Amino acid sequence: MYILIMTKQKPIFVKKFKYDYAHHNSILTRLYAAFVHFEEMHHVIAVRLKVKGKQIQITNTRLSCAIGTSDRVQEFKTLVRKVKHKTIPTIYCGDYNVVDSKLFNRLTGWLRGFTRFDYLLDERASFEKLFKKEHLVNIFRGKSTSFVNRPLLQLDHILVPKTFLVQSHLLTKKRYGSDHRILVATIQI
């Protein structure tokens, strides 16, 4: 799996941060390793650009789908702590694998290494609370970014600071071979 940020403008800063050093041993993690020869990378890419004389930062990452909800919430907290800048606003993008369906979590939790606490945690509410604390707007909230509309699975996110104006946003129908739809947003800075 690859994480990237494409830009027409030359970045003034590019850095990769590691946000999770734990070894997760869920059944899904072991299946990935055994059959797909895939090991999850726990990195976030941060890019800074100068737009209209001001710096902005854009991040992109993929949070693990093979862990419990409380671990995924912790991954996001650590990610924000590592990349957040005091004076430069940040747009957070990525596949956060947040599951909006308690039923889906209950049915698949055993595969993803859930603890008892994970089954009780409302994952979407926990993430939205973090977004609010960081003054971020989840511009695709309430929309399924997966190939299915039910259950609602907003796996992918573009989070913008509340001070930014989102002029338009689009969730494509075409997936180009992925199990995720493409998110597009026009943001006025």
Has this prediction a pTM greater than 0.95? no
* pLDDT tens sequence across 132-180: 999 999 999 999 998 887 778 899 999 999 999 999 999 988 878 778 8
Sequence length of the chain is 189
Q: Please report which confidence band the pLDDT of residue 37 belongs to, taking 50, 70 and 90 as the band edges.
A: low
Nearest to 149, CA basis, from 171, 170, 169, 176: 171
CA–CA separation, 153 and 129 (whole Å): 18
Judged against a pLDDT cut of 70, whether residue 119 lies above it is answered with yes
Q: What class has domain 13-188?
A: alpha beta
Q: Please report which confidence band the pLDDT of residue 81 belongs to, taking 50, 70 and 90 as the band edges.
A: very high
* pLDDT tens sequence across 83-116: 999 999 999 999 999 988 888 889 999 999 999 9
Q: Please report which confidence band the pLDDT of residue 1 belongs to, taking 50, 70 and 90 as the band edges.
A: low
Give residue 94's region: left, alpha or beta (phi > 0; psi -120 to 50).
left
Torsions phi, psi of 61, nearest 5? Answer: -160, 175
Helix axes 123-133, 69-83, angle to 10 degrees: 20
Task: Locate 125 and state its tokens.
Answer: 């509410």
Mean of the pLDDT values across residues 43-57? 94
